[in-house]
Structure 1
Amino acid sequence: MAEPIPPITLPPPQNAQQEGEWLREALVTWLDREFIPEPVNQQIARRASQIFVRQRMEGENDLGSLVIAILTEMQAFDFRESFYSEFAIANAVSDLLLQSLGIDRCCGN
């Protein structure tokens, strides 16, 4: 039987606002690079960052829970002007956070 994948826990935030700003900038860069730079990318990144910061300030350190929170709350965002969806944003946030922790997002190493 396969072993379950252990949860990934972020270190407690030293400065949640600073983490959120880093995430906003990294996400905008990713969004602009994946398709084309669009003004809505700034709005998407700002909203995802706000959710992330609030979750971190409320004590959430589990990466899976953070991604689910972003996915759930981004469902209320109007993506009509974008190529993206809440799923793409949640996955991108996960990839960016894993990369910042030095974890290979492909194979979990």
Structure 2
Amino acid sequence: FSVDRIRARLPLLNAPTNGSEQLIEDLRVPQQWLQPSKALEESEWLQTALNKWLDDEYCPEETNIEISKIAASSFYRSLLENKSDIGEILLTMAGDLESISYQESFHGAFSSANAAVNLIIQRLEQY
């Protein structure tokens, strides 16, 4: 995958940093999520939440299970690598999700990663 290609699809993350754009760029997961046991817990939560969201938003399909597994694995790996920045997690996840064929699906790598990160942000707001 090409980080530049993915960054081009993220105008908000490429925008000048002022106002709300700065808040999004600085959004981070809590430090305790970087601990292996908590990282596993959060990635398992993401797998379940994303699969449900994809099924509800589009329709239940096998690809949703695969998307959820890869997104959760990517999130877990990012946390273990001490990546706490949401933008960095999004870019990594979008790249990892490019390994799936979306020919018979309603979504793609970037929209799936974006949905996953939106769920993570919602969870952060409850934290």
Q: CA deviation at 1:21?
A: 0.4
Give runs of ≥4 in structure 1 deviating > 2 Å: none
Count of matched residue pairs: 103
Task: Provide the TM-score with structure 2 as the length reference.
Answer: 0.75
Alpha-carbon distance between aligned partners in 2 of 1:53 and 1:2, rounded to the nearest angstrom: 28
DSSP-derived class of the 2:122 partner:
helix
Q: CA distance change for structure 1 residues 78 and 2 in 2, over 3 Å: closer, same or farther? A: closer
Q: Give me the identity figure in percent.
A: 32
Map 1:1-109 → 2, pairs under 5 A: 3=18, 4-6=21-23, 7-12=26-31, 13=33, 14=35, 15-102=38-125
Taking only aligned residues, the RMSD between alpha carbons, in angstroms, comes to 1.8
Larger relative helix fraction? 2
Extract unaligned runs of 5+ from structure 1.
104-109
Extract unaligned runs of 5+ from structure 2.
1-15
The range that moved more, 68-77 or 94-103, is 94-103
